[in-house]
């Protein structure tokens, strides 16, 4: 593994090779491995170790970036020359700030996200885990497919004003799909600590969803009470958090334009961006090396705050929006420069309601409704009302008189996130969830009234 001391030596060379006013280097990479299985058999095992350095140089307001994954002296000289050549031909950016001399302090201690047990996982360990999943599939005469991946990664930043920060992390992920002739089930989990993943339990849940939803019946589309499991919640709400950045407001591409400080969701919706949360993961600093702050984005349904990179905060203070967006300050959520996106919250944590309900309790309290395992092929229809369309899959069930009665054919939905998060009747305990359409978050299961299904699919 590339370590902080080695990176510091590389940065010292890059500084010597550069004639720029300022130099910033991002380091990234690590060891990744993946075991893939299908038709109840492992068919692929791959592993990679790769590290890179991304060099940004600045000449009088002109900046550009060049990247290499070759760290020998000759390659470092070439990447510096490439960055400088690109920077010199850029138009000056009057809003470009000097690289920061310090990243500041985090709001609180960030727990270690590096676990020796995860880093030590071998191909044989992953194969044994897959064997447990296949055993579950064979027991129920199902066909299974999925992946088990592990990684050990680094992320670091150094600049010519003395800032240096480093983050090392492990990660692990298991995704399982179980197939019947006319139905399927799915489960997925991700954690820095592989001990938190139980392949057999994930396989059992996916298998139960597959055989319980066999011979699906067709029911008419319409508005139903829906119980969304955490993965389904995550893949829906992930579409709105790109709008919580200051630059999105300044560019007039955010659904929060003229809505910050107003109540647009239900009073039971509270959301933070919190890199220090024990169930979260990722680096404690942003793409410029600024330490991430804990920010309450939504408080009792009111859009409370936005997140900012340094430049977006400066620009917002001088804009017509400055009195309409709440507190304006860099929050450590910027992406590496140069970029057109600005910033976004990436460590989303939903708050628990006063009274949490288990999935079983939500089902027991539902006279007529739909249970959704997950969603897919989600696309945005209306960016201001955040109307999304997509489909259910891998375990969709009809609930009648407080019990799951049978599997149903999947639905297409058209639903506004504003309406959905204003119609949440009950929530579970927030937990770390993984989906397919968005990044990992800490979210609860949700019981939502009048969720709009528009048509039935053929499967």
* Domain-located, residue 27: yes
* Domain-located, residue 211: no
Instruction: Indicate whether 226 and 199 sit together in one domain.
Output: no
Alpha helical stretches, state H, 20-120: 73-88, 116-119
Instruction: Indicate whether 331 and 435 sit together in one domain.
Output: yes
* Domain-located, residue 210: no
* Domain-located, residue 379: yes
DSSP 161-215: TS-EEEEEEEEEEEEEEEE-SS-EEEEEEEESSGGG--HHHHHHHHHHHHHHT-S
Structure confidence at residue 211 (pLDDT): 95
Structure confidence at residue 270 (pLDDT): 98
Instruction: Indicate whether 18 and 138 sit together in one domain.
Output: yes
* Domain-located, residue 280: yes
Cα(231)–Cα(226) distance, integer angstroms: 14
User: How many domains, the chain?
Assistant: 2
Instruction: Indicate whether 166 and 242 sit together in one domain.
Output: no
Domain that holds residue 377: 216-459
Instruction: Indicate whether 153 and 234 sit together in one domain.
Output: no
CATH number, domain of 88, equals 3.30.2290.10
Instruction: Indicate whether 266 and 178 sit together in one domain.
Output: no
* Domain-located, residue 209: no
Domain boundary among 204, 226, 253: 204
Structure confidence at residue 106 (pLDDT): 83
State the sign of the Cα–Cα–Cα–Cα dihedral 356, 359, 361, 364: positive
Instruction: Indicate whether 134 and 196 sit together in one domain.
Output: yes
* Domain-located, residue 45: yes
* Cβ neighbours, 10 Å, residue 215: 10
* Domain-located, residue 133: yes
Instruction: Indicate whether 387 and 348 sit together in one domain.
Output: yes
Instruction: Indicate whether 262 and 196 sit together in one domain.
Output: no
Instruction: Indicate whether 276 and 394 sit together in one domain.
Output: yes
Instruction: Indicate whether 8 and 102 sit together in one domain.
Output: yes
Structure confidence at residue 90 (pLDDT): 97
Domain boundary among 204, 237, 270: 204
Instruction: Indicate whether 199 and 273 sit together in one domain.
Output: no
Domain boundary among 204, 228, 259: 204
* Cα end-to-end distance, the chain, whole Å: 47
Instruction: Return the ∠ at Cα 222 (arms to 220 and 226), rounded to 5°.
Output: 105
Provide the residue-wise pLDDT of the chain in tens; the chain has 459 residues.
Answer: 999 999 999 999 999 999 999 999 999 999 999 999 999 999 999 999 999 999 999 999 999 999 999 999 999 999 999 999 999 999 999 999 999 999 998 888 899 999 999 999 999 999 999 999 999 999 999 999 999 999 999 999 999 999 999 999 999 999 999 999 999 999 999 999 999 999 999 999 999 999 999 999 999 999 999 999 999 999 999 999 999 999 999 999 999 999 999 999 999 999 999 999 999 999 999 999 999 999 999 999 999 999 999 999 999 999 999 999 999 999 999 999 999 999 999 999 999 999 999 999 999 999 999 999 999 999 999 999 999 999 999 999 999 999 999 999 999 999 999 999 999 999 999 999 999 999 999 999 999 999 999 999 878
Strand, helix or coil for residue 7: helix
């Amino acid at each position: 593994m590339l370590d902080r001391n080695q990176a510091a030596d590389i940065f010292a060379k890059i500084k010597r090779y550069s004639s720029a006013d300022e130099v910033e280097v991002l380091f990234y990479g690590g060891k990744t491995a993946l075991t893939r299985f299908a038709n109840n058999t492992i068919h692929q095992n791959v592993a990679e170790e790769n590290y890179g350095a991304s060099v940004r140089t600045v000449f009088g307001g002109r900046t550009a970036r060049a990247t290499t994954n070759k760290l020998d002296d000759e390659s470092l000289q070439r990447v510096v020359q490439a960055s400088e050549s690109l920077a010199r031909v850029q138009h000056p950016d009057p809003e470009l700030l000097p690289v920061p001399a310090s990243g500041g302090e985090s709001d609180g201690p960030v727990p270690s996200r590096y676990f020796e047990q995860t880093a030590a996982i071998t191909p044989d360990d992953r194969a044994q885990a897959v064997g447990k999943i296949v055993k579950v599939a064979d027991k129920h005469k199902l066909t299974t497919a999925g992946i088990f991946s592990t990684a050990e990664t680094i992320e670091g930043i150094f600049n010519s004003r003395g800032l240096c920060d480093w983050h090392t992390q492990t990660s692990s992920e298991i995704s399982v799909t179980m197939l019947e002739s006319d139905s399927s089930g799915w489960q997925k989990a991700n954690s820095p600590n592989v001990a938190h993943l139980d392949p057999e339990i994930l396989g059992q849940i996916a298998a139960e969803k597959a055989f319980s939803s066999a011979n699906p019946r067709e029911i008419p589309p319409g508005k139903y009470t829906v119980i969304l499991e955490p993965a389904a919640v995550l893949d829906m709400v992930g579409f709105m958090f790109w709008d919580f950045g200051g630059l999105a407001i300044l560019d007039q591409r955010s659904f929060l334009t003229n809505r910050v400080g107003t109540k647009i969701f239900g009073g039971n919706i509270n959301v933070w961006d919190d890199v220090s949360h024990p169930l979260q993961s990722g680096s404690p600093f942003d793409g410029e090396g600024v330490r991430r702050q804990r920010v309450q984005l939504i408080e009792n349904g009111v859009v409370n705050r936005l997140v900012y990179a340094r430049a977006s905060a400066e620009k917002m203070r001088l804009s017509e929006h400055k009195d309409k967006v709440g507190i304006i300050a860099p929050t450590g959520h910027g992406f590496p420069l140069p970029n057109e996106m600005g910033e976004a919250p990436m460590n989303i944590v939903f708050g628990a309601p006063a009274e949490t309900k288990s999935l079983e309790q939500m089902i027991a309290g539902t006279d007529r409704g739909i249970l959704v395992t997950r969603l897919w092929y989600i696309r945005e229809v209306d960016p201001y009302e955040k109307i999304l369309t997509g489909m259910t899959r891998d375990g969709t069930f009809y609930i009648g008189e407080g019990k799951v009665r049978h599997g149903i054919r999947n639905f297409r939905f058209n639903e506004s996130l504003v309406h959905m998060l204003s119609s949440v009747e009950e929530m579970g305990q927030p937990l770390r969830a993984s989906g397919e359409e968005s990044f990992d978050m800490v979210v609860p299961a949700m019981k939502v009234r009048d969720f709009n299904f528009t048509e039935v699919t053929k499967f």
